[in-house]
Amino acid sequence: MTRPYRLKQRAERQDQTRQKIVDAAIALHQTKGPAATSMADIAAKAKVGRVTVYRHFPDETALTRACSGQYFSENPLPDPTAWLAIADARTRLRHGLRESYAFHRRTEAMIGRVLTDARDHPVMAPYHEHWQRTVEVLAAPFRAKGQARKLLDAALAVAVSFDTWRTLVRDRGLTDDQAIAVMLRLTCDCDEGGT
Protein backbone atom coordinates (compact mmCIF):
# COMPACT_ATOMS: atom_id res chain seq x y z
CA MET A 1 0.00 0.00 0.00
CA THR A 2 2.93 2.40 0.56
CA ARG A 3 4.23 1.98 -3.01
CA PRO A 4 1.12 3.50 -4.72
CA TYR A 5 1.18 6.29 -2.15
CA ARG A 6 4.84 7.05 -2.92
CA LEU A 7 4.16 6.95 -6.66
CA LYS A 8 1.31 9.38 -6.17
CA GLN A 9 3.54 11.71 -4.13
CA ARG A 10 6.25 11.51 -6.79
CA ALA A 11 3.74 12.33 -9.54
CA GLU A 12 2.46 15.29 -7.52
CA ARG A 13 6.02 16.61 -7.04
CA GLN A 14 6.67 16.24 -10.77
CA ASP A 15 3.48 18.16 -11.54
CA GLN A 16 4.49 20.89 -9.07
CA THR A 17 7.96 21.12 -10.63
CA ARG A 18 6.48 21.29 -14.12
CA GLN A 19 4.12 24.04 -12.95
CA LYS A 20 7.00 26.01 -11.40
CA ILE A 21 8.86 25.84 -14.71
CA VAL A 22 5.84 27.03 -16.72
CA ASP A 23 5.15 29.84 -14.22
CA ALA A 24 8.80 30.93 -14.36
CA ALA A 25 8.79 30.94 -18.17
CA ILE A 26 5.57 32.97 -18.31
CA ALA A 27 6.94 35.52 -15.84
CA LEU A 28 10.18 35.87 -17.80
CA HIS A 29 8.45 36.04 -21.18
CA GLN A 30 6.27 38.83 -19.81
CA THR A 31 9.17 40.84 -18.37
CA LYS A 32 12.14 40.05 -20.64
CA GLY A 33 10.43 38.64 -23.70
CA PRO A 34 10.82 35.18 -25.19
CA ALA A 35 13.91 36.07 -27.24
CA ALA A 36 15.86 37.24 -24.18
CA THR A 37 14.78 34.30 -22.00
CA SER A 38 17.07 31.28 -21.92
CA MET A 39 16.38 27.85 -20.49
CA ALA A 40 19.04 28.69 -17.86
CA ASP A 41 17.03 31.80 -16.90
CA ILE A 42 13.90 29.69 -16.56
CA ALA A 43 15.70 27.09 -14.46
CA ALA A 44 17.09 29.78 -12.14
CA LYS A 45 13.71 31.48 -11.73
CA ALA A 46 11.97 28.12 -11.08
CA LYS A 47 14.80 27.16 -8.68
CA VAL A 48 15.48 23.91 -10.51
CA GLY A 49 18.39 22.62 -12.56
CA ARG A 50 18.54 22.99 -16.33
CA VAL A 51 18.42 19.21 -16.64
CA THR A 52 15.10 19.26 -14.77
CA VAL A 53 13.73 21.83 -17.21
CA TYR A 54 14.77 19.65 -20.17
CA ARG A 55 13.36 16.53 -18.48
CA HIS A 56 9.93 18.18 -18.43
CA PHE A 57 10.29 20.09 -21.72
CA PRO A 58 12.72 18.57 -24.24
CA ASP A 59 12.85 21.75 -26.31
CA GLU A 60 11.75 25.38 -26.29
CA THR A 61 8.76 24.65 -28.51
CA ALA A 62 7.30 22.21 -25.96
CA LEU A 63 7.79 24.75 -23.18
CA THR A 64 6.37 27.57 -25.29
CA ARG A 65 3.25 25.53 -26.07
CA ALA A 66 2.74 24.77 -22.36
CA CYS A 67 3.19 28.45 -21.48
CA SER A 68 0.85 29.60 -24.24
CA GLY A 69 -1.83 27.10 -23.23
CA GLN A 70 -1.71 28.14 -19.60
CA TYR A 71 -1.50 31.87 -20.35
CA PHE A 72 -4.55 31.88 -22.62
CA SER A 73 -6.43 29.62 -20.23
CA GLU A 74 -5.88 32.23 -17.51
CA ASN A 75 -6.40 35.16 -19.91
CA PRO A 76 -9.06 34.01 -22.37
CA LEU A 77 -9.40 35.79 -25.68
CA PRO A 78 -12.71 37.59 -26.27
CA ASP A 79 -15.41 35.32 -27.67
CA PRO A 80 -16.68 36.77 -30.95
CA THR A 81 -19.37 34.09 -31.30
CA ALA A 82 -21.14 35.75 -28.36
CA TRP A 83 -21.43 38.89 -30.50
CA LEU A 84 -23.46 37.12 -33.21
CA ALA A 85 -26.60 37.91 -31.22
CA ILE A 86 -26.01 41.62 -31.88
CA ALA A 87 -27.64 42.32 -35.26
CA ASP A 88 -26.73 46.00 -35.73
CA ALA A 89 -23.31 46.34 -37.36
CA ARG A 90 -22.15 49.42 -35.42
CA THR A 91 -23.39 48.08 -32.09
CA ARG A 92 -21.65 44.72 -32.70
CA LEU A 93 -18.46 46.50 -33.72
CA ARG A 94 -18.50 48.81 -30.71
CA HIS A 95 -19.12 45.89 -28.36
CA GLY A 96 -16.45 43.75 -30.05
CA LEU A 97 -13.87 46.52 -29.90
CA ARG A 98 -14.66 47.20 -26.25
CA GLU A 99 -14.03 43.54 -25.36
CA SER A 100 -10.97 43.32 -27.63
CA TYR A 101 -9.40 46.45 -26.15
CA ALA A 102 -10.10 45.27 -22.61
CA PHE A 103 -8.23 42.06 -23.51
CA HIS A 104 -5.34 44.04 -25.00
CA ARG A 105 -5.13 46.18 -21.87
CA ARG A 106 -5.12 43.12 -19.54
CA THR A 107 -2.50 41.27 -21.55
CA GLU A 108 -0.40 44.21 -22.73
CA ALA A 109 2.84 43.22 -20.97
CA MET A 110 2.85 39.69 -22.37
CA ILE A 111 1.38 40.25 -25.83
CA GLY A 112 3.58 43.27 -26.49
CA ARG A 113 6.72 41.25 -25.79
CA VAL A 114 5.57 38.10 -27.54
CA LEU A 115 4.53 39.92 -30.71
CA THR A 116 7.88 41.70 -30.77
CA ASP A 117 9.88 38.49 -30.33
CA ALA A 118 7.73 35.74 -31.81
CA ARG A 119 4.98 37.20 -34.00
CA ASP A 120 5.52 34.53 -36.67
CA HIS A 121 6.32 31.61 -34.34
CA PRO A 122 4.03 28.64 -35.04
CA VAL A 123 2.73 28.75 -31.45
CA MET A 124 1.16 32.13 -32.28
CA ALA A 125 -0.95 30.71 -35.14
CA PRO A 126 -4.08 30.20 -32.96
CA TYR A 127 -3.76 33.79 -31.70
CA HIS A 128 -3.68 35.18 -35.27
CA GLU A 129 -6.49 32.84 -36.38
CA HIS A 130 -8.63 34.11 -33.49
CA TRP A 131 -8.35 37.70 -34.69
CA GLN A 132 -9.17 36.65 -38.26
CA ARG A 133 -12.35 34.96 -36.98
CA THR A 134 -13.08 38.13 -35.01
CA VAL A 135 -12.90 40.19 -38.22
CA GLU A 136 -15.31 37.79 -39.94
CA VAL A 137 -17.86 38.05 -37.11
CA LEU A 138 -17.59 41.83 -37.00
CA ALA A 139 -17.87 42.16 -40.80
CA ALA A 140 -20.93 39.92 -41.18
CA PRO A 141 -23.71 42.49 -40.55
CA PHE A 142 -22.21 45.17 -42.82
CA ARG A 143 -23.62 45.55 -46.36
CA ALA A 144 -20.32 46.16 -48.14
CA LYS A 145 -19.60 44.02 -51.22
CA GLY A 146 -16.67 43.60 -53.59
CA GLN A 147 -13.91 46.17 -53.21
CA ALA A 148 -15.78 47.94 -50.40
CA ARG A 149 -15.88 44.62 -48.50
CA LYS A 150 -12.15 44.17 -49.00
CA LEU A 151 -11.55 47.64 -47.56
CA LEU A 152 -13.93 46.93 -44.67
CA ASP A 153 -12.16 43.67 -43.80
CA ALA A 154 -8.79 45.47 -43.85
CA ALA A 155 -10.13 48.25 -41.63
CA LEU A 156 -11.56 45.71 -39.18
CA ALA A 157 -8.26 43.82 -39.06
CA VAL A 158 -6.54 47.09 -38.19
CA ALA A 159 -9.25 47.97 -35.65
CA VAL A 160 -8.94 44.77 -33.59
CA SER A 161 -5.15 44.62 -33.71
CA PHE A 162 -3.13 44.85 -30.51
CA ASP A 163 -0.67 47.12 -32.36
CA THR A 164 -3.49 49.54 -33.27
CA TRP A 165 -4.76 49.61 -29.70
CA ARG A 166 -1.24 50.27 -28.38
CA THR A 167 -0.61 53.01 -30.94
CA LEU A 168 -3.87 54.81 -30.20
CA VAL A 169 -3.89 54.36 -26.42
CA ARG A 170 -0.23 54.28 -25.41
CA ASP A 171 1.41 56.35 -28.15
CA ARG A 172 -1.41 58.83 -28.84
CA GLY A 173 -2.87 58.97 -25.33
CA LEU A 174 -6.45 58.15 -26.27
CA THR A 175 -8.82 56.38 -23.91
CA ASP A 176 -10.23 53.04 -25.05
CA ASP A 177 -13.54 54.78 -25.82
CA GLN A 178 -11.78 57.40 -27.96
CA ALA A 179 -9.83 54.68 -29.78
CA ILE A 180 -13.11 52.84 -30.42
CA ALA A 181 -14.64 56.03 -31.83
CA VAL A 182 -11.71 56.42 -34.24
CA MET A 183 -12.02 52.80 -35.36
CA LEU A 184 -15.81 53.05 -35.76
CA ARG A 185 -15.35 55.96 -38.09
CA LEU A 186 -12.61 54.22 -40.08
CA THR A 187 -14.50 50.97 -40.49
CA CYS A 188 -17.98 52.33 -41.03
CA ASP A 189 -16.68 54.66 -43.76
CA CYS A 190 -15.67 51.52 -45.66
CA ASP A 191 -19.24 50.21 -45.73
CA GLU A 192 -21.14 51.19 -48.87
CA GLY A 193 -23.77 53.68 -47.80
CA GLY A 194 -23.09 53.12 -44.10
CA THR A 195 -25.31 51.08 -41.81
The residues, any chain, with a CB within 8 Å of residue 72's CB and separated by 6 or more, are 126, 127
Q: For the residues of 3-54, what is the DSSP string, one character each?
A: HHHHHHHHHHHHHHHHHHHHHHHHHHHHHT-STT--HHHHHHHHTS-HHHHH
Are 51 and 123 in the same domain? no
Indicate the number of domains in the chain.
2
Render the burial of 113-125: b for 16+ CB within 10 Å, e for the rest.
bbbeebeeeebbe
End residue of a domain, out of 41, 73, 105: 73
- Tens of pLDDT along 153-171? 999 999 999 999 999 999 9
Domain that holds residue 10: 2-73
Examine residue 44 and state whether it is found in any structural domain, yes or no.
yes
Examine residue 195 and state whether it is found in any structural domain, yes or no.
no
Examine residue 193 and state whether it is found in any structural domain, yes or no.
no
Examine residue 194 and state whether it is found in any structural domain, yes or no.
no
- Tens of pLDDT along 72-125? 999 999 999 999 999 999 999 999 999 999 999 999 999 999 999 999 989 899
End residue of a domain, out of 73, 97, 128: 73
Are 62 and 91 in the same domain? no
pLDDT at 195: 42
